[in-house]
Amino acid sequence: MKTWSFFPVFTVAYIGLFCWLGLYAYPSADDYNLANMIARHGFWQAQVQWYMTWTASPFPLIMVSVPAWLDFKGYFLLPLVTCALNLCALYALAHALAEDARKKFTVALTLQAAWLALVPGLNENFYWLCAMSYTWAATFLLFTGALLVRFLKKKSKSVKEGVACVAALFVTSAYMPQVTPLLCVLFFVLTLGYAAAKKQETAYCLAALCVSFAGFLAMSLAPGTAARMAAGGGGGRALQTLGVAAVFGGITALKFFTKPIIYLAILYAPDIAQRVFPGGCSTRLKARHVFALTALIAPFQQAVAGWALGEGLPPRAEGLTIWLMGAAWLSLWVFVYGNEAARDRLRVPRVWRGVFLLLCLTLSYNFTSLVCDLRVAPFYAKERRQRETTILRQKSEGKEDVVVPTLAHKPRLLYFSDIGLSPNDWKNQSFAEYWGVKTVSAAPLIGQKGSGLLSGMESLAATGDAEAQFMLGEIRDPVFAPLDGVPKDGATAARWYALAAGQGHAHAQRRLTRCYATGIGVQKNYLYAVGWLLRSQF
């Protein structure tokens, strides 16, 4: 088999395995919550309610609501649809950049495989309906980027095409305003990169920047945003926002630069630059600009999406941030190697680039997790089906308070937000409302059959079960909804969290970080808080 034909076959199989795992995906608590809102208010009124009470623009809500409106029929196809849309967007971008028709689809497949290997929180971005909007935001950005590249490469530009580009950028930034940092970097790069840029190009870049910022305001000025920020605490918001953005944004940036696959951009940048700028381009951008501008994206994203709530970005937002940093990294390096002299400094044989890419794809955390999940996922799906059957059986027997077993098989990539012990938890309430019962709670089988729920849980935790230890900590944690008859005790919660965290339980490590940072159940110790934070992040 020829070298050039190996990677298309490999990447098709690689992408296909990720889509195959999606066949075992199930709705999560947030998905049920959205379905309940649609059932209560109707499809369009639900969009208004969500925009008024939560931090989100209406565009992703409309798209995310459609499967919920259809009662999740075909839910298992969502990862496949998401992947197909993203692949089409990548092909459109490759079509705008490359002249060789044979390589366009190969480039798109390779970039899609790299995205699946690179993005942290892939379980949320790819297998969870309420977080897929982050991936769709990246997809829209790709389509917009392809439109913008084709427009700027034309010698004669029409006003209608310029207006279409500006409108596309507005929709993209309004759909998910977190893409605004990359758009700002893009316009800055375009302004510097085109050495012989005419006033017309500069005008279009400034207009695009203005409408992107207007799209960003669509979310930042939403009533739901103000309500959420007010819930985070009183004054000192600006200083707190900058502090949180610096800490967590710095961690995200460090994660990006520790991923070997991103350095492929340097290896492929000369070839891409030669196709984009065959006659050369500006040398104003230097390698140091690549590091500086790319690293600034993560803190800015943290400030935009974190809202100074004292915690890092959720994995789905961090995944989008890493993706945006990778796109900015590649585009900036293309400009750095935009002149012939710079391109000649880095010429790596194609075979070695291919070997490096192959190793990066197969040794990534996402792919190794996928290999493990292909064995676990069928059992997980079987448990979910049995749980639904149990709920319907108990409902038919007239029971209003339903108890189901916790999941024994939990995949790494398939996203699930499992219901807990307390029926007062919002996840349990969403689940109960969707299935038409009064309350739903989940407990290990030993807790259901033993002398009591707590004693059964403690017996299981005493055997070293990290999940049981974590659940016992959550039951006692003053921050979470109470379980009837169980008093809250921060010290006991911190002790159970510490036992689970010591075994590598990521959620317990994050909870322990909060305990040490706030002094709940333990003596306040910022050094310990940072230590557990780093363990949970890496």
CATH code, 483: 1.25.40.10
- The confidence score (pLDDT) of residue 84 equals 93
- pLDDT tens across 72-82, in order? 988 989 999 99
**Same-domain status, 357 and 460:** no
Tell whether the torsion through CA atoms of 88, 93, 95 and 96 is positive or negative: positive
What domain range is 248 assigned to?
3-363
d(CA 163, CA 406): 54
What mean pLDDT comes out for the span 61-71?
A: 86
Question: Is residue 87, in this structure, part of any structural domain at all?
Answer: yes
Query: What is the reported pLDDT for 370?
Result: 94
Q: What is the pLDDT of residue 200?
A: 61
* Mean pLDDT across 343-363: 77
- 462 lies in the same domain as 354: no
Angle of the 506-518 helix axis to the 526-537 helix axis, nearest 10? 160
- pLDDT-derived band at 196 (thresholds 50, 70, 90) equals very low
461 shares a domain with 339: no
Interval 117-136 mean pLDDT: 87
Domain membership of residue 408 (yes or no) is: no
Mean pLDDT, residues 452-457: 66
Q: Report the relative pairing of strands 401-405 and 439-443 from DSSP bridges.
A: parallel
Last residue of one domain, picked from the residues 363, 381, 398: 363
398-420 pLDDT per residue, tens: 888 888 888 888 898 998 877 87
Q: DSSP for 279-306? A: T-------HHHHHHHHHHHHHHHHHHHH
In a domain, 396, yes or no: no
- pLDDT at site 85: 92
Judged by average pLDDT, the poorest of 293-307, 375-389, 426-440, 470-484 is 293-307
**Is the per-residue pLDDT at 377 higher than 80?**
yes
Domain membership of residue 370 (yes or no) is no
Tell me, yes or no, whether 427 lies in a domain. no
Q: Where residue 380 falls among pLDDT bands split at 50, 70, 90?
A: very high
Q: Are 344 and 462 in the same domain?
A: no
pLDDT at 371 over 90: yes
pLDDT at 60: 78
CB atoms within 10 A of CB 32: 23
Final residue belonging to a domain, choices 363, 388, 415: 363
Q: Are residues 450 and 356 in the same domain?
A: no
474 and 345 housed in the same domain: no
Q: What is the DSSP string of 18-80?
A: HHHHGGG----HHHHHHHHHHHHH-HHHHHHHHHHHSS--HHHHHHHHHHHHTTTTTGGGHHH
- Has residue 282 got a pLDDT over 90? no
| Average pLDDT value for the chain | 79
Which residue has better confidence, 497 or 261?
Answer: 497
* 456 and 358 part of one domain: no
Of the ranges 109-118, 182-191, 281-290, 326-335, which one carries the lowest mean pLDDT score? Answer: 182-191
CA–CA separation, 178 and 173 (whole Å): 7
Please tell me whether the overall predicted TM-score, pTM, comes out greater than 0.85 for this model.
Answer: no
Total count of domains within the chain: 2
* Between 66 and 237, the higher pLDDT residue: 66
* Claim to verify: residue 359 and residue 477 sit in the same structural domain: no
Ranking 45-59, 163-177, 295-309, 356-370 by mean pLDDT, the lowest is 295-309
Element of type H or E holding 126: helix 122-127
Query: How high is the pLDDT of residue 451?
Result: 45
More confident residue, 67 or 121: 67
User: Is 22 a member of any domain?
Assistant: yes
Residue 395: inside a domain, yes or no? Answer: no
Same domain, 345 and 459: no
pLDDT above 70 (res 227):
no
Q: Is 440 domain-assigned? A: no
Q: What pLDDT does 184 receive? A: 63
Q: Which two tokens stand for residue 156?
A: 């004669």
